Amino acid sequence: MADALSVIPASVLRNLSDKLYEKRKNAALEVEGIVKQLALSGDHEKISAVIKLLAKEFTYSPQANHRKGGLIGLAAATVGLTSEAAQHLEQIVPPVLNSLSDQDSRVRYYACEALYNIAKVVRGDLIIFFNQIFDALCKLSADSDANVQSAAHLLDRLVKDIVTESDQFSIEEFIPLLRERMNVLNPYVRQFLVGWITVLDSVPDIDMLGFLPDFLDGLFNMLSDSSPEIRQQADSALSEFLQEIKNSPSVDYGRMAEILVQRAASPDEFTRLTAITWINEFVKLGGDQLVPYYADILGAILPCISDKEEKIRVVARETNEELRSIKSDPAETFDVGAILYIARRQLDSEWEATRIEALHWISTLLDRHRAEVLCFLNDIFDTLLKALSDSSDEVVLLVLDIHACIARDPQHFRQLIVFLVHNFRVDHSLLERRGALIIRRLCVLLDAERVYRELSTILEGEADLDFACIMVQALNLILLTSSELSVLRELLKQSLVNAAGKDLFVSLYASWCHSPMAILSLCLLAQAYQHASAVIQSLVEEDINVKFLVQLDKLIRLLETPIFAYLRLQLLEPGRYIWLLKALYGLLMLLPQQSAAFKILRTRLKTVPSHSFNGDQLKRASSGNPCSQILHYSGSQITEDGNLRQDNGNLQNGINFASRLQQFVQMQRQHRMLEKSQEQSIARSSSTLSKEGPEAEESRGPQTSNSNLPPSRSSRRGLG
């Protein structure tokens, strides 16, 4: 300290701390001259003493004017040192850097000015302080004082020039600081950061692309900034980096893919578009590097396929197709389970397009990696079954395609049908809304006969009799009306003359017993008219209720469709098909006379020609009582195809119709017992309510009675 005081006159030190700028400036010039003389004489100890005096007594002084004088003095000393300043930078720069964060804006301004002058002298030697200078400038770029901001910008430009021309700059040491600052939201700081990234990327010797994963997320974050200028600058920087990636032989796609996946879900539209565009390029360029990230990428693409912005949807679809076209081996870190997890999760998306593409992925994986997919079957099976309730027909059809692909194996086929019946049981609305579509599609994909046989086997042992009845009625209606089941209907028409038809008839009969109308439809389809008549005769009072009549109405209307054209043509030969007439008249007798179905069937039966009867039959026909035509035959039996032969114990083509009838009667007895049990339960509940007392009766209010309501047992058996 004494050495410095002996070198610098007291008057200079006083002026250096004066409140007037001109006096401080003049004093600084004298300091510059003194230091220059000391440098020429090589007295670096006294130079160090002078710098120490200026730093300790001035720049760290509590007096603002002292700090200002110290800063201008340090800059002057550096100018006086010229080429020898580098060896004193460790003393000169830290006090100036400290002043850049001074609470007094004027001090901060002079600190910028001082550091600017120092940098002009030492140039590249200042690089050792680059991180501290960058950090200070980052803060000053958002300074509240406009003059300080302006001074900081001048200093920033000079430092950029120094860095671009220096071969001592260390990008490895700088990147951690840059990564930390990229999360700042201040718009001025963001502009400052993007400016530095652009400058450093323009330097050929600095590999910014290699460190892109460290600050890529920050750049994407700026795309949603409220300032259009910042968004444009960030987008420009990203576009430049993307172009470099396309031209670079070595890129770390993996780390960046993780960032892009997150940004593809951004609420900001521009950010999503940029992210999905990058992902699109990565899928095209990345190759095997991206295999471990396929699942994450798919998780980003699928939601974007349903984006509200058309540009995003287009790019997402293109990327999805590119990704699906890449054929990878599970042995090459291709995680089938992860892809399936993403696809399964996207099946819960509210957007139809996303759900459809998720199903396409499951289907693709089944085609390419069937064994691996089946290992995860338990994880996806319930979700696929749930998807059958989807509001979109296209989704349901795709789900059925996948189920059919899985069900190519016998054990999985059985599992599918069992679970399908279970879903119908717990969700009747699914059966009502989607039942026909599901069953018809499965019949196309998996062979109709196989599907119906399996369904029949399951329903034969169904414990829930009401559900079994509803399900059988639905299956029966599908069988009678669907074009996809025309081959099955033709096979059933041959039941009495063909072994395959007989086996199918017997297989369906066991479960069709749950519904009288389904059995009658099956018999009419199989041309087992005598048995149909026997079934009608076996019906008792409890069987003929409202639901029964509704089903009967449907059957009568179906008889007028092209499906039963062969049956109507057989009425041209009533003598040969006497049991057909008897069955139809039996149905007529069960219908209320005022119903539309009664009138339809009666009109049809009136058209039956009477001239085909012989002898007594013609006499009975001419009496005007068509029903009398079928009441005469008792001694010999007429087979279903019209040929006379003696009673053979109700065995035709190996079908024991007597046994089948007994089976039907027993099943209907079980249904009646269930109805009675339900009625008794309702009665007990009503009795309990009636014993609650007058108060409870009054609290319930007046009850409305309706004598026209059908008895409770009429509520049994529903859908057709």
Distance from C-alpha of 377 to C-alpha of 384, rounded to nearest angstrom: 10
Q: Residue 316 has what DSSP assignment?
A: H
Extended beta strands in 291-330, E state:
none
Residue-level pLDDT at 655? 86
The Cβ of residue 685 has, within 10 Å, a number of other Cβ atoms equal to 10
Indicate the average pLDDT of the chain. Answer: 87
Distance from C-alpha of 8 to C-alpha of 47, rounded to nearest angstrom: 11
Residue-level pLDDT at 95? 96
CB within 8 Å of 400: residues ≥ 6 apart: 388, 438, 441, 442, 445
Closest C-alpha to 551, from 714, 382, 365, 329:
714
Q: Where are the alpha helices (DSSP H) in 410-545?
A: 410-426, 428-446, 448-460, 465-481, 486-493, 499-512, 516-525, 529-538
In the numeric block, the tokens 């109700």 are attached to: 650
Residue-level pLDDT at 643? 42
Is pLDDT above 60 for 476? yes
Residue-level pLDDT at 173? 95
- Residue ranges and CATH numbers for the domains of the chain are 1-166 (1.25.10.10), 169-250 (1.25.10), 469-608+654-677 (no CATH)
Banded pLDDT at 254 (limits 50, 70, 90): confident
Residue-level pLDDT at 634? 32
Residue-level pLDDT at 648? 41
Please tell me which of 117-126, 627-636, 707-716 the model is most confident about, judged by mean pLDDT. 117-126
Residue-level pLDDT at 40? 92
What stretch of H or E contains 639? none
500-542 pLDDT, tens per residue?
999 999 999 999 999 999 999 999 999 999 999 999 999 888 7
Task: Give pTM, 2 decimals.
Answer: 0.77
In the numeric block, the tokens 């009673």 are attached to: 647
Residue-level pLDDT at 639? 45
Is pLDDT above 60 for 440? yes
Banded pLDDT at 597 (limits 50, 70, 90): very high
Residue-level pLDDT at 234? 96
Percent of the chain with pLDDT over 70: 88
Which is more confidently placed, 133 or 651?
A: 133
Residue-level pLDDT at 306? 95
150-191 pLDDT, tens per residue?
999 999 999 999 999 998 899 999 999 999 999 899 999 999
Residue-level pLDDT at 631? 35
Banded pLDDT at 252 (limits 50, 70, 90): confident
Distance from C-alpha of 486 to C-alpha of 488, rounded to nearest angstrom: 5
Is pLDDT above 90 for 569? yes
Instruction: Determine the average pLDDT of the residues in 420-448.
Output: 92
Instruction: Determine the average pLDDT of the residues in 606-616.
Output: 69
Banded pLDDT at 334 (limits 50, 70, 90): confident
Distance from C-alpha of 280 to C-alpha of 285, rounded to nearest angstrom: 9
Residue-level pLDDT at 329? 67
Banded pLDDT at 326 (limits 50, 70, 90): confident
Is pLDDT above 80 for 282? yes
Give the C-alpha distances (Å, rounded to integers) separating 70 from 26, 77, 453: 13, 10, 100
The dihedral built from the CA positions of residue 612, 618, 624 and 628, taken in this order, carries a sign that is: negative
Instruction: Determine the average pLDDT of the residues in 50-57.
Output: 93
Is pLDDT above 90 for 62? yes
Instruction: Determine the average pLDDT of the residues in 90-95.
Output: 95
Yes or no: say if 344 and 373 are a contact pair by the CB < 8 Å rule.
no
Range in 115-129, 283-297, 322-336 the model is least confident about? 322-336
Which is more confidently placed, 687 or 638?
A: 687
